[in-house]
Amino acid sequence: MAKKLTVSASPHVRSNETTTGIMLDVIIALMPALVMSVVYFGLRALTLTVVCVCSSVIFEALSRKIMKRPNTVGDLSAVVTGIILAFNLPASMPLWMAAIGSLVAIVVVKQMFGGIGQNFVNPAMTARIILMTSFPTAMAKWIVPFQSAWHPDAVTAATPMAVLSSVQGGDVAAVGDALPSLTQMLLGAHGGSMGEVCSLALICGGLYLMLRKVISPVIPFTFIGTVAVIMLFAGSFNLEFVAYQLLGGGLMLGAFFMATDYSTSPINKKGKIIFGIGCGLITSVIRLFGSLPEGVSFSIILMNILVPHIENMTTPRPFGEVKEKKAKKEVSKA
Amino acid sequence: MSKRVGDVLTAVRRGRGGVSVSHNKNTAEMPVERMPVPEKVVLSMQQHIGVPCTPLVKVGDTVAVGQKIGDSDKYVSAPIHATISGKVTAVGDIKLANGIITKGVTIESDGEMREYEGIKPPVITNKQELCAAVRESGLVGLGGAGFPSHVKLNIPEDKEIDTLIVNAAECEPYITVDYRECIENAENVLKGVELLRDILGFKQVIIAIEDNKPKVFEIMKEIADRDNEAGDTIKLMTLRSRYPQGAEKMMVLSATGRKVPPGKLPADVGCVVINVASVAFIARYAETGKPLVSRSITVDGSAIREPKNLRVPIGTNIGDIIDYCGGFKSEPRKIISGGPMMGIAICDTDAPICKQNNALLAFEDKKDLVKKERDCIRCGRCVDVCPMSLMPTLIERFARVKDADRLKSIGVNVCMECGSCSYACPSGRPLVQYMRLAKQVLREESAK
């Protein structure tokens, strides 16, 4: 035999799934929302996305090179981070600020902690928060859809979330025209971060990811479900109020694309349930009682930090092992 | 003709995890062909889990088929028999396919396949006689593990056993020898089942078949119906075809809903699981007294010219078997002894096959063989697919830093190395290898 035989540990067949394939699926799932934001905010939205993606990829390649580690640009995770970061910014965001966001997300949050799978908080989410505190004016310039976001004097308006936080006892009718209609909320024709406005597109993307088994439905459902239940009570059972709460702000983007981030969410099902409920709880508390109108980013970051503890608490028992308490009970019975 | 159809059961409980691997049962419709007698055989003295045998013959001895040539006085062991007639030409160190050097006996054939005169059917009337006979037959689990069957059947008196599970799942891809056994030797399967049931007193026998083998199911149903007078004790069960359905603990869970605790055997929850080919062999042995001298194997894979199911004398050279199947049609890059999920990649074809080998697979250099290894992305697929509810990704991490305490608390020892985690990993991480490393870390820790 000319060539030597390969000897390796079993199994000798592997599934077709690859990291790159998974990331490609996430990119596909993000496309409807990207198209919708271009519809609402024009080519400025696309430019912002391209800048975020390119700077993320460049920072990833550079930091890996400086740290003398193999180049991981091929796994496409930097592309995903770039798109999600852009989605979290207002369409009018100055491009250099967006690039700083990429620097924070890729270099500080991801690569300095060891690269993919090792970061303990969501990179794009952390970048958003850093940008929010560093450039509060630029990060709160919510321009009204269907006008050129390039224009420095573009008309801006409060986001539905800001209006909602002034609503008392779920009485959405009281604020009148200050809120867009629910159809507008679903389709995204209102002010907000460029990628979070169109809930319908995000839901479609989320369903695609579930269908492809890239994400498990547990986190999105428990997250959104918890917000829905709390808002139901907070809004004195006004269903319209609940609908505004679910469709407004970054809930859909956060629940489907950011809370489900593999690196920063629990691995097992029980942990995922706790994580989702926690996210929903903190989001609702901030929205209802905080001085900020929106709480999705902070809730996810806070729960990210708790993940190691949640995982320790929810480690599944190996097959056939009996609970200690149960075993003791049985012994005492006998 | 209106005999009552035996009970057909569906799985009591679905096991968690597992993966759907493409079946690739290409050889399913190929009858088992008898391979011509090889010029020589090399018989390892260790073809089972347990104590190796000591050779009973010396160079120059003439041996006949079925003559015992190796045995041990230890309980967990199984004797080795000559598989062809001829002259012993060497007794000493041999190299097995997996690279391990062990003691072995080489026999050169005289081409006559003369049978040993001492062969006579055993008398089996009770459990002791059955276990003694099974030990004498040299039978080990033919499904691949190679655990001596008499140990399995010799159930301690203090354990209450009610169920015999005949494992016909054959969940590994490519392998079809159990499938062929069910089709070609259905009579023997039934006889074996009846023998074990009557001697060991099982209340019920469940023949478990994966739902991708409807033909086997039909044949088994017809056979089981014939035994109806005996009180309807033989039942058939269809199982979801999902790897690793055929693993013993999974089998017990699916068939009875019972969970075998860590470190325990199926007997601890009242079950005995036995491979279908082993059952058929016991029946043949009870009738003829001919010990285990040959076995069926599947020869397949993208590099094999003519895939076949073959019956070969144990100890036949792997290279000879591949040559008989037309040799390689393209250069093989990986040859596997056993199935693709749990089999061993071998480094040399100049080695003998053993009792527990159920397949020889040879593959060309294709995507199947190596997946690029990347960093773990914590996607959790390994956790989802683990049938034993373990967290392979964490075990990998602890194994790499040799953290014995945390490994112990996370329970790595229940891992059966089924390979589901490595299969599912999108980052191509060799998780099974880390599982073995983790067990090694624990062994070293307990040796301290």
Q: Please report the domains of chain B, with CATH numbers, ordered by start residue.
A: 8-28+121-288 (3.40.50.11540), 381-447 (no CATH)
Q: Give chain B's largest Cα–Cα span.
A: 68
Letter string b/e over residues B320-343, b meaning 16 or more CB atoms within 10 A of that residue's CB: bbbebbeebeeebbbbbbbbbbbb
In B115-266 the beta strands, taken as DSSP E runs, fall at 163-168, 204-210, 234-239
Two structure tokens written together for A268: 């097992």
Residues of chain B with C-beta less than 8 angstroms from the C-beta of A11: 340-342, 419, 422-423, 432
Cα–Cα distance, A88 to A144 (Å, whole number): 16
Among left, alpha and beta (phi > 0; psi -120 to 50; other), residue A81 is: alpha
Please give the torsion angle defined by the CA atoms of residues B115, B117, B123 and B129, in that order, rounded to the nearest 10 degrees: -80
Considering only the beta carbons, identify the residue of A72, A116, A318 that sits closest to B389: A318
Contact B422 A11 (CB under 8 A): yes
Per-residue pLDDT of chain B (448 residues; tens, 9 = 90+): 333 444 567 767 777 788 999 899 999 999 999 999 999 999 999 999 899 999 999 999 999 999 999 999 999 999 999 999 999 999 999 988 888 899 999 999 998 889 998 888 998 889 999 999 999 999 998 887 789 999 989 888 888 889 999 999 999 999 999 999 999 999 899 999 999 998 998 988 999 999 889 899 888 888 888 776 656 788 888 888 889 998 999 999 999 999 999 988 899 999 999 999 999 999 999 999 999 999 999 999 999 999 999 999 999 999 999 999 999 998 888 899 999 999 999 988 899 999 989 999 999 876 555 678 889 999 999 999 999 999 999 999 999 999 999 898 888 889 999 999 999 999 999 999 999 999 999 999 888 7
Residue among B21, B348, B389 minimizing CB distance to A317: B389
pLDDT-derived band at A1 (thresholds 50, 70, 90) equals very low
Residues from chain A contacting residue B419 (CB–CB below 8 Å): 10-11
pTM of the predicted protein model: 0.90
- Quote the DSSP letter at residue A258: I
* Interchain CB contact of B381 with A (< 8 Å): yes
* Cβ-based interface (< 8 Å): residues of A facing B: 1-15, 17-19, 21-22, 72, 75, 77, 115-118, 216, 262-263, 267-268, 315-322
- Inter-chain residue contact A318 with B388, CB threshold 8 Å: yes
Say which DSSP state A184 is in. H
d(CA B426, CA A155): 46
CB–CB contact B411 A318 (8 Å): yes
Nearest CA in chain B to A272: B380
Chain A CB within 8 Å of residue B272 CB: no
- Range 428-447 of B in CB contact (< 8 A) with A: 428, 430, 432-433, 436
DSSP letter, residue B362: E
Please give the Cα distance from A301 to B245 (Å, whole number): 40
Sign of CA dihedral B238, B241, B247, B249: negative
Hey, of A3, A4, A12, A213, which one would you mutate to test binding to chain B, going by the most B CBs within 10 A of its CB?
Answer: A12
- Cβ separation A11–B346 shorter than 8 A: no
- Look at A262 and B430 and tell me if their CB atoms are within 8 Å: no
* pLDDT tops 50 at residue A126: yes
B377 vs A contacts (CB less than 8 Å): 19, 22, 77, 116-117, 262-263
Asked if A319's CB is within 8 angstroms of B378's CB, the reply is: no
B423 touches A: beta carbon within 8 Å: yes
Closest-CA distance of chain A to residue B253, Å: 10
